[in-house]
Chains A and B, each alone.
Chain A
């Protein structure tokens, strides 16, 4: 089914608009929950990246659950394509949602936090376990394009995070800057993975509206 350019533009603006509103609303809502919490840089970063993960995952989950709506919001050519990719998209959504919840829990736990530390520990365990199981299963479902994109995403993520960690860690070691906030490092890793995926798909022109 061919889609005209104005229709593609409308679709891109609709999904970007909803994503932007949901993202900003989510971040503001999360920070509003903890008005009494001391928001360190690491907490703000982990919370922000966590909201982006959570919203992205929920967006994809909604699209898979209601393909008619998903075909209008997600970058697929039609409902049929969405249904074909259901297993992969569902797995990705599940993994991304649990990682988002993990980041939010870590940002909200700790000294003077909103939630008990045990909840954050449980969220970390669930997210890591889910992601490992999903990734192992996804790899068998991927065809060569998806496998290639997965390798490229990982390569870009590593390229992004490695210089920052080396420079930052080196500067800490030499006493030029204060020690790293562990949450900031976690947020940086999670953000790099997301950015790596965007760069890999964008570089191949696969983010162009279909």
Chain B
């Protein structure tokens, strides 16, 4: 699953450490999310979306589509 966390973080002018602090997680977690090595839990994804003021599906992009929409 791709995401635009790095883009939005840089847009805000925050470092990885600053974002980690705001979300109450480690810097490794932010780094792992940004580099697509770790998909965050739903609560963390919701917190990120709230912080960046975007919907979760805009922040985390999954190419999966239901059969009827293909």
Contact = CB atoms under 8 A, between A and B. Distances in A.
Interface residues on A, range: 10 to 19
Contacts of A81: 17, 27-28
A143 B25 contact: yes
B40 A77 contact: no
Interface string A132-152: 000000000001111010000
Contact of B37 (A80, A84, A144, A206): A206
A158 B26 CA distance: 27
A81 B44 CA distance: 21
A204 B38 contact: yes
B6 to A, nearest CB: 12
B32 A143 contact: no
B32 A85 contact: no
B38 A148 contact: yes
Interface of A: 77, 80-81, 84-85, 143-146, 148, 204-206, 210
26 contacts: A77-B27, A77-B31, A81-B17, A81-B27, A81-B28, A84-B17, A84-B26, A84-B27, A85-B26, A143-B25, A143-B26, A143-B29, A144-B25, A144-B40, A145-B25, A145-B26, A145-B29, A145-B32, A146-B26, A146-B29, A204-B37, A204-B38, A205-B35, A206-B32, A206-B37, A210-B31
Given A144-B29, A145-B25, A145-B28, 15 more contacts: A77-B31, A84-B17, A84-B26, A84-B27, A85-B28, A143-B26, A144-B25, A144-B41, A144-B44, A145-B29, A145-B38, A146-B26, A146-B28, A146-B29, A204-B38
Interface of B: 17, 24-29, 31-32, 35, 37-38, 40-41, 44
